[in-house]
Amino acid sequence: MGSPGLMGNVEGRATKPNPYPVVDGKVVLTDEKTTATEDEIRTQDKCIEDFEMKEYLARHIIINSV
């Protein structure tokens, strides 16, 4: 359980990052006015994937340790 970043998921303190909203077919930042760049979209997608990976890993560890 000492894996970096997993304790927040185990204790329920970690919050899932939301994808950027799409307005009129364009991906925009959370202010809904500025168009997001490809790098910003990739970074946000990576954050979401990392969160989900840690969430499933934390669940796996808990289930296998009971």
pTM over 0.75: yes
Residue 62 Cα distances to 14, 43, 58, angstroms = 16, 29, 6
So what's the pLDDT on residue 3?
61
pLDDT at 55 over 70: yes
Q: How far apart are CA 10 and CA 22, in angstroms?
A: 31
Residue 34: which pLDDT band, with cuts at 50, 70 and 90? very high
Residues 49 and 57 sit within 8 Å (Cβ to Cβ):
no
